[in-house]
Amino acid sequence: MTLPKKFPLLGILAAAFILLAPASHAQDKWPTQAISFVVPYPPGGPTDVMARLLSVPMSAKLGVSVVVENKAGASGNIGTAQVARAKPDGYTILLAASGNMTINKVIFKDLAYDPVKDFAPITQISKFPLVLEVKADSKIKTLQEFIDYAKANPNKVTFGSAGSGSPQHLGPELLKKMAGISMQHVPYKGAGPAANDLLGGQIFSMVDITAGSMKYIQAGLLHPIAVTTATRSPALPNVPTMDEAGLKGFDYFAWHGIAVPAKTPVAVIDRLNKTLLEIFNDPDFRKKWEGIGSEIVAGTPQQFADLINSEAIRLGALVKDLNIQLD
């Protein structure tokens, strides 16, 4: 366009407005295409369960498909790094967990992403107890029986996890320390494969997030021994806590949230947050969410950012205290 000679500044401003207008207009119309919902763990695990449960109402409210994509590997690092490098336009979102957003920074020397600098938080979506479980046909039914067996058979008790540093890894490590027992860690590329081997008898036990275990417990395939939080899980009201079962002061939980690449437009972040809060305020969805064992904890982006920062301190200290090393 030709700028007016008498008003050069006015012409420059007009040109800038014309150039910026399409981008602003595009943000106002977001979304106009399918959204990739990246789960950095394999299908079948708790993160996958949550993402697929959320994707249905998200698609309905946003008017586009929200497609769950499992990008597993390296304890969640591969999929998380992929989202960190994605275009910050709101069309790639991440299932963020305590493992890939806080613990991995402590146990991996060369992390390909920065959990704080490379992401913009949207909202926390869960707070889960974990549950110590064995096959339903196991003779072990109580925590004391489990501890006694482990002491009588040092290093013969195996436990599976979603990978080194995952909540399924830290929970049993804390159990080992507080109960004074030895167990062998068997890391997998996600909680789903670990649960499959537990069902098949290849491993002895698992401390899994309730979201990944409920279907097996309800089907009578796994026996829940105790939950890891200070209070009982509403989803498993008849299962005692570790504290009630004898390990006083035991309190451990996992959490999850939604994040997008850093520099995603504020308008998109606000729209995503508003959409998720509407979903979690729906009574029917709340019932489904609580049915997988989670508290309803949706809030603001700042609240989720504060959680990530505080949990990095808490879980980092726990990893160092337990002297957890990569397998």
Q: Do 300 and 273 share a structural domain?
A: yes
Q: Do 135 and 116 share a structural domain?
A: no
Q: Do 123 and 162 share a structural domain?
A: no
Q: Do 181 and 133 share a structural domain?
A: yes
What pLDDT score does 13 carry? Answer: 46
**Residue 18 is assigned to a structural domain of this protein:** no
Q: Do 304 and 161 share a structural domain?
A: no
**Residue 245 is assigned to a structural domain of this protein:** no
> Cα angle vertex 18, ends 13, 19, to 5°?
95
Q: Do 104 and 35 share a structural domain?
A: yes
What pLDDT score does 315 carry? Answer: 86
**Residue 273 is assigned to a structural domain of this protein:** yes
**Residue 90 is assigned to a structural domain of this protein:** yes
Q: Do 195 and 259 share a structural domain?
A: no
Alpha-helical runs (H) found in the chain: 8-29, 46-62, 77-85, 98, 104-107, 143-152, 167-179, 191-200, 210-218, 266-280, 283-291, 301-322
Above 90 in pLDDT, residue 245? yes
Most confident of 5-9, 187-191, 216-220: 216-220
Q: At 120, which CATH number? A: 3.40.190.150
pLDDT in tens, 107-162: 888 899 999 999 999 999 999 899 999 999 999 999 999 999 999 998 899 999 98
What pLDDT score does 326 carry? Answer: 65
Q: What is the mean pLDDT of residues 171-182?
A: 95
Above 60 in pLDDT, residue 241? yes
What pLDDT score does 8 carry? Answer: 53
**Residue 238 is assigned to a structural domain of this protein:** no
The DSSP code sequence of 92-108 is: EEEEEEHIIIIIHHHH-
Q: Do 123 and 136 share a structural domain?
A: no
What is the radius of gyration, based on Cα positions, of the chain? 22
Q: Do 219 and 157 share a structural domain?
A: yes
Question: Angle, to 10 degrees, between the axis of helix 283-291 and the axis of helix 46-62?
Answer: 170
Say what percent of the chain tops pLDDT 90. 74
Using CA atoms, how far apart are residues 276 and 259, in angstroms rounded to an integer? Answer: 12
What pLDDT score does 308 carry? Answer: 94
What pLDDT score does 302 carry? Answer: 97
**Residue 247 is assigned to a structural domain of this protein:** no
Above 70 in pLDDT, residue 5? no
What pLDDT score does 298 carry? Answer: 94
Q: Do 172 and 121 share a structural domain?
A: no
pTM higher than 0.95 = no
What pLDDT score does 89 carry? Answer: 98
| Closest among 55, 127, 36 to 275, alpha carbons compared | 55
SS3 126: strand
Above 90 in pLDDT, residue 200? yes
Above 50 in pLDDT, residue 197? yes
Q: At 210, which CATH number? A: 3.40.190.10
- Counting the structural domains of the chain, the total is 2
CA-CA-CA-CA torsion sign (220, 222, 225, 226): negative
**Residue 261 is assigned to a structural domain of this protein:** yes
Q: Do 145 and 83 share a structural domain?
A: no
What pLDDT score does 324 carry? Answer: 77
**Residue 14 is assigned to a structural domain of this protein:** no
Q: Do 317 and 274 share a structural domain?
A: yes
Above 50 in pLDDT, residue 10? no
pLDDT in tens, 89-111: 999 999 999 989 998 988 888 89
Which residues form the domain of 66?
A: 31-127+255-322
